[in-house]
Structure 1
Amino acid sequence: MTSWQDAVRDVGPVALALVLLAAIAVGAGAAGGLRQGRDVGVAVARAVVQIVVVGLVLAVVLRTPALAPAYLALALAVASWTSARRLRFPRSWPLTALAIGLGAATAAAVVVGVGALEPRALQVVPFTAQLIGGAMSATTLAGRRLLDDVEGGWPLVEGWLALGATPARAVADLGRTAATRALAPALDQTRTVGLVTLPGAFVGLLLGGASPLEAARVQLLVLVGLVAAETIAVVVVTAGIGRRVVTKPQRLGS
Structure 2
Amino acid sequence: MHHFSPHQGKEVTWILAMDLEWLLEYLKGMLKPTLALVVVLMAVILSYMQKLGLGGEMVYSIFRAFVQLSIIGFVLEFIFTQKNVGWIVLAYLFMVCVAGYTAGQRAKHVPRGKYVAGASILAGTAVTMFLLVLLNVFPFTPQYIIPVAGMMVGNAMTVTGVTMKRLRDDIKIQMSLVETALALGATPRQATHQQVKRSLVIALSPVLDNAKTVGLISLPGAMTGLIMGGASPLEAIRLQIVVMNMLLGASTVSSIMSTYLCWPAFFTKAYQLETKVFMSD
Change (3 A) 1:127 1:182: same
TM-aligned CA deviation for residue 3 of structure 1? 9.6
- 1:33 deviation in Å? 4.8
**8 Å contact from structure 2 (residues 106, 162) kept in 1:** no
Question: How far off its partner does 1:42 sit?
Answer: 1.7
Secondary structure class of the residue paired with 2:279: helix
Map of 1:176 onto structure 2: 197
C-alpha displacement of 1:247 = 3.4
C-alpha change, 1:106 and 1:41, in structure 2 (3 Å) is: same
Residue aligning to 1:226:
247
- Which structure 2 residue ranges, 5 or more long, are not aligned? 1-20, 267-272
In the other structure, the counterpart of 1:17 is 36
The answer (yes or no) to whether the contact 1:146–1:178 under 8 Å persists in 2 is: yes
Residue of structure 2 in register with 1:51 after alignment: 69
Deviation at residue 165 of structure 1 after TM alignment? 2.7
Contact 2:111 2:265 in 1 (8 A): no
Question: Is the deviation greater in 202-211 or in 237-246?
Answer: 237-246
- Using the TM superposition, name which of 41-50 and 242-251 deviates more: 242-251
Which runs of 5 or more residues in structure 1 are unaligned? none
Q: Give, in angstroms, the shift of residue 30 of structure 1.
A: 4.2
What displacement does 1:32 show?
4.7
Deviation at 1:61, TM superposition (A): 1.1
User: Aligned partners of 1:193, 1:168: CA distance in 2, in Å?
Assistant: 35
> Which sits farther off after the overlay, 53-62 or 236-245?
236-245
Q: Distance in 2 between matches of 1:237 and 1:106?
A: 15
Q: Equivalent residues in 2 for 1:192-231 (5 A)?
A: 192-231=213-252
CA root-mean-square deviation: 2.2
| Further displaced range: 151-160 or 64-73 | 151-160
CA distance in 2, matches of 1:76, 1:36: 29
Alignment deviations for residues 19-67 of structure 1 (CA, whole Å, 9 cap, x no partner): x222233334445553322221221111111111111111111111421
The CA distance in 2 between the partners of 1:5 and 1:201, in whole Å, is 28
Does the Cα contact within 8 Å between 1:139 and 1:230 map onto a contact in 2? Answer: yes
Partner of 2:17: none
2:90 to 70, 81, 102: 70
**Largest Rg, 1 or 2:** 2
Q: How does 1:1-254 map to 2 (within 5 A)?
A: 7-18=26-37, 20-66=38-84, 67-88=87-108, 89-245=110-266, 246-248=273-275, 249-251=277-279
Alpha-carbon contact 1:134-1:230 (below 8 Å) kept: yes
Measured at CA, do residues 175 and 65 of structure 1 come closer, stay the same or move farther in structure 2, by a change above 3 Å? farther
Distance 1:244 1:98 in 2: 15
SS in 1 for 2:122: helix
- Decide whether aligned partners of structure 1 residues 165 and 28 sit closer, same or farther in structure 2, where only a CA change above 3 A counts: farther
* Mean CA deviation greater in 186-195 or 23-32: 23-32
CA contact (8 A) 1:111 1:221 kept: no
Per-residue CA distance 1:116-154 (angstroms, 9 max, x = gap): 112222111111121111111110011111112122222
Contact kept, 8 Å, 2:124 with 2:250, in 1: the verdict is yes
Query: Residues 146-204 of structure 1, C-alpha deviation per residue, up to 9 Å, x if partnerless?
Result: 11212222222232233343333222211111111111111111111110010111111
Which one-letter code corresponds to 1:170 in the other structure?
A: A
Q: Distance in 1 between matches of 2:112 and 2:59?
A: 32
Identity across matched positions, percent: 29
Structure-2 change in CA distance of 1:252 and 1:209 (3 Å): same
